[in-house]
């Protein structure tokens, strides 16, 4: 495998599958199967999951709710997704640890960097829930932060599309896919890879990002093996 330690970022929307809300059990099991394959290949795997399939802080703000309150609600949504993914992985016999940026001692360990690294070294999959634990930060920012802290080789952003395009390929059939980009190119072209906080963290700490289609079976293992799938963003 080309990458020995990865940070996999999954959006909450990805867990919806064909549903309009919540978690699609078939999609969840498919992701667990792909992660299990990597685990058997001795890759060290950390995961950050979004919560957009359940709740978004920005939606709450649009409805008149305090942004801070809405963001904390969104963090709880990420914990629901993280627990579901943990259950799906453990049903397949994959040892998993869930760490939360907000203390929830009945259901998750607190985030402790040294403990998380030790779990990875022991071959356990580590899921980081509750974002960064702070309002005004997205789960993209949490993924970038945890990747840096874990000294991950790469951030793998699993999405519904097979890379970064000149425009939204679901809306514009003439959109052209990029195979590789630098952080500066992506910024200058106004391409939405991650939010700017996450993007800047990755650039300053030289953490590459690969955006790829997680819904195509086998793609995750191929990306980690070094096959040219998706779009690679580097310094």
pLDDT band at 169; cut points 50, 70, 90 = confident
Q: How confident is the model at residue 192 (pLDDT cuts 50, 70, 90)?
A: confident
Pair of tokens at residue 177? 């896919």
Task: Give the model confidence (pLDDT) of 80-113 as tens digits.
Answer: 999 999 999 999 999 999 999 999 999 999 999 9
> Percent of the chain having pLDDT more than 90?
85
What tens digit of pLDDT does each residue of 194-219 get? Answer: 999 999 999 999 999 999 999 999 99
Q: How confident is the model at residue 188 (pLDDT cuts 50, 70, 90)?
A: very high
**Average pLDDT of 108-129?**
98
Of residues 212 and 58, more confidence is placed in 212
* Mean of pLDDT over the chain: 95
Look at residue 18 in the predicted model and tell me its pLDDT. Answer: 86
Q: Please determine, for residue 58, whether its predicted confidence score (pLDDT) is greater than 80.
A: no
pLDDT reading at 158 higher than 90: yes
- Give the pLDDT band (50/70/90) at residue 193: confident
Specify the pTM: 0.95
Architecture of domain 5-234: 3-Layer(aba) Sandwich (3.40)
pLDDT of residue 99: 98
Average pLDDT value for residue range 19-48: 96
């Amino acid at each position: 495998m080309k990458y020995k330690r990865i940070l996999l970022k999954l959006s909450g929307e990805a867990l919806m599958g064909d549903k309009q809300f919540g978690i699609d059990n078939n999609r969840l099991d498919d992701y667990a199967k792909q992660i299990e394959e990597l685990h058997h290949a001795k890759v060290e795997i950390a995961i950050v999951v979004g919560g957009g399939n359940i709740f978004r802080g920005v939606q709450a703000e649009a409805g008149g709710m305090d942004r801070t309150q809405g963001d904390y609600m969104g963090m709880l949504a990420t914990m629901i997704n993280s627990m579901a993914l943990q259950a799906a992985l453990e049903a397949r016999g994959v040892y998993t640890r869930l760490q939360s940026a907000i203390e929830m001692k009945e259901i998750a360990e607190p985030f402790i960097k040294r403990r998380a690294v030790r779990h990875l070294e022991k071959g356990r999959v580590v899921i980081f829930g509750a974002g960064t634990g702070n309002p005004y930060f997205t789960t993209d920012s949490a993924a970038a932060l945890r990747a840096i802290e874990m000294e991950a080789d790469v951030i793998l952003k699993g999405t519904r599309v097979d890379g970064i395009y000149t425009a939204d390929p679901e809306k514009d059939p003439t959109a052209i896919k990029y195979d590789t980009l630098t952080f500066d190119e992506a910024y200058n072209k106004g391409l939405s890879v991650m939010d700017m906080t996450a993007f800047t963290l990755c650039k300053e700490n030289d953490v590459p990002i690969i955006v790829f289609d997680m819904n195509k079976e086998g793609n995750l293992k191929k990306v980690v093996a070094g096959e040219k799938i998706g779009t690679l963003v580097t310094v």
